[in-house]
Amino acid sequence: MKKNLAFSVILIFFVLLTCLAILEIGLRITGISTPRSTWLEMHERGYMMNQKGGDAKDSFGNMRFRYNFSDYRTRGESPYSESNNIFVFGDSFVFGLYLNKEETFIHKLNDTFEINHPQSNIKFINAGVGGTGLADWIARLETEGNDLPIDGILIVLNYHDFFRSLARNLYVYDSGSLIPSQRWRERRIKSFLDRSMAYKFLQESFHLVSGIHRFAWPWFFQDLTHNFNHERTQVPIPEPDAFSEESDYILSLGSKLFLNLKMLADEKDVPVWITTTGFIVPEKTTIYDSKVFSILDSLALDLEISYHDITPQLLEKINNDFSIIEIEGDDHPNPLGSSYISNLIYENAGQDILFYFNE
């Protein structure tokens, strides 16, 4: 009897092992899932951030990447003690998703400044975090700003940054004020897995483990708003009509966020500049983002913030064809797109930055 039980257990084990091996082989052949480890974490305040130090593996198709992080949760090098450190906040375009560090436009921008203006001692620090928006960056500056060696702030806006600020619920606009709130809370199981080197090894080594992690990603976070349900929400949320396309709530929220950004910069006695990725076109932006971009010129002027939208110049360079500067099968900038963005930021916001530090 015991021998039969032992045999059954061993048989079940090998059957499961064989099934997992078949699944792994199938995923490797089809490319449905590729090995990558997790580098995104959520602060208890509710904003997303990169991991602290170390590295992470990513892949897209047949391409493999290794992202390195500083102790300040920035990609690449840490801020320099004797430099004018410009923290560049943005989403995955700034981060340089599916690009090697040398191919990111932040790295190229540093190369341009080092070659053309070595005496300026300006260093751009890549503080980009995938999937984030303006509210995330302001929440981080409010929470961690005093611990960051910032000499200047460069905001690089992309085409979903204001909608993300609305959907992430990090701030609720009410009667002329911003009420701190949040939508998501990271579950303990994700925090535990993020600290596990064994789990990271499994993610980076096996397509199946990486695929399961991606599938489970939404479950790793608790929605404190219960999908913005006023009867069940655990946190402040906007009125239901805030999400209506006819509502101007996003204009009030966006304007107040920029005002808070200016106030934070003034408190730290550092300048702030705003530019874009150059991808701000109607076919890519949401109605929420389009509304804020439509008033941004005048808003930046009122707040005395330098603002340059490089979209018209980028469209001229690419003859309105984004496909030539996007990664094939994805909408992130390829190395050519990264070069164009870097050059245009240098020619526009870069000149304002040079003027400030050379006054």
Encode pLDDT of 152-191 as tens digits: 999 999 999 999 999 999 999 999 999 999 999 999 999 9
Same domain? 17 vs 133: no
- Asked whether residue 228 is domain-assigned, the answer is yes
Angstrom distance (rounded) from CA 97 to CA 158: 14
Same domain? 295 vs 353: yes
pLDDT at 25: 72
- Asked whether residue 246 is domain-assigned, the answer is yes
- Asked whether residue 36 is domain-assigned, the answer is no
Q: Residue 294's domain is classified under what CATH number?
A: 3.40.50.1110
Same domain? 115 vs 178: yes
- Asked whether residue 143 is domain-assigned, the answer is yes
Give mean pLDDT in consecutive 10-residue pieces for the chain, a chain of 359 residues: 63 66 68 82 97 94 92 92 93 97 96 92 96 97 94 97 97 95 95 89 84 88 97 96 94 97 96 98 96 97 97 97 96 97 97 89
pLDDT at 13: 64
Amino acid (one-letter) located at 251 = L
- Asked whether residue 203 is domain-assigned, the answer is no
- Provide the number of structural domains found in the chain: 2
- Asked whether residue 86 is domain-assigned, the answer is yes
Q: 63-68 and 55-60: which strand pairing?
A: antiparallel
The mean pLDDT of the chain is 92
CB 170 within 8 A of CB 182: yes
- Asked whether residue 57 is domain-assigned, the answer is no
pLDDT at 206: 82
Q: pTM (2 decimals)?
A: 0.92
Same domain? 82 vs 152: yes
Range of the domain at 5: 1-30
